[in-house]
Amino acid sequence: MAEREQRAGYPLAPANGYARSDEETGRSLSDEERRQKRKKWALYIIAFVIFQTGVIVFFSMTVMKFRTPKFRVRPATSFDTFDVQSSSFNLRMNAQLGVKNTNFGPYKYGNSTIYFSYRGTQVGSAIIPKSKANFRRTKKVNVAVDLIAPTNLANNSELASDINSGILPLTSTSRLTGKIEIMFIFKKKRSVNMNCTMDLNISAKQLQNIKCK
């Protein structure tokens, strides 16, 4: 009788052992899957943070960066009056200026004045009206200016020599003061100076060799 009970009990022990083993295996796999998921989420979060950081850095280095516009005389210039004598000149010049804005927002500037000089002596000036250069654009400004040799240059041998050579060296100076506005929120004051040298070709009646700093 005891032998039968003992025999009858033998199959039960292994069955319980297998059941416990399956449960432990399942629990172990479940823990491993959770660890793998946590690792994946951690990698996703790290990748997202790196991506966002890259976007912010790129945005701040390009779109949000304030750049000083460039202001210069353009070669597209014509003359309404062109009277050049042996030791004097009287010119009515239609000068075209350019305000180059490389920012991702408009540059608004106030009224200003441009001055033209011959070898350090001022020979003309013109008012530059307030306006704006749109983002990533060059604003073209047309101004009419009278260039007249003052009386103190009448006996200047250097002027006579320049006119005789056919080239009249000129300089232009000006300053614009305004604000750059990005995304209608961020604003910054910017002033830009013009300092250009150029040659007036008397026979061709045009400006040449324009160089601006």
Do both 111 and 154 map to the same domain?
yes
Q: What is the pTM of this model?
A: 0.72
Domain boundary among 7, 31, 64: 64
Quote the tokens at residue 1. Answer: 């009788």
Place of tokens 């319980």: 16
Do both 139 and 190 map to the same domain?
yes
Cβ atoms of residues 171 and 197 within 8 Å: yes
Q: Torsions phi, psi of 165, nearest 5?
A: -75, -15
Phi/psi-derived region of residue 120, left when phi > 0, alpha when psi is between -120 and 50, beta in every other case: left
Whole domain around residue 190: which residue ranges? Answer: 70-212
Quote the tokens at residue 195. Answer: 């300092």
The answer as to whether 88 is a domain residue is yes
Domain boundary among 10, 43, 64: 64
Widest pairwise Cα distance in the chain: 147
Do both 120 and 193 map to the same domain?
yes
Q: What is the pLDDT of residues 141-189, one digit of tens each?
A: 999 999 999 988 888 899 999 999 999 999 999 999 999 998 878 899 9
The C-alpha angle with vertex 78 and arms to 75 and 79, in degrees rounded to 5, equals 140
Q: What is the pLDDT of residues 12-42, one digit of tens each?
A: 555 555 555 555 555 666 777 777 888 888 8
- Strands (DSSP E) along the chain, which ranges? 70-84, 89-101, 107-109, 112-118, 121-128, 131-133, 137-148, 167-182, 186-201, 206-212
**Does 92 score more than 90 pLDDT?**
yes
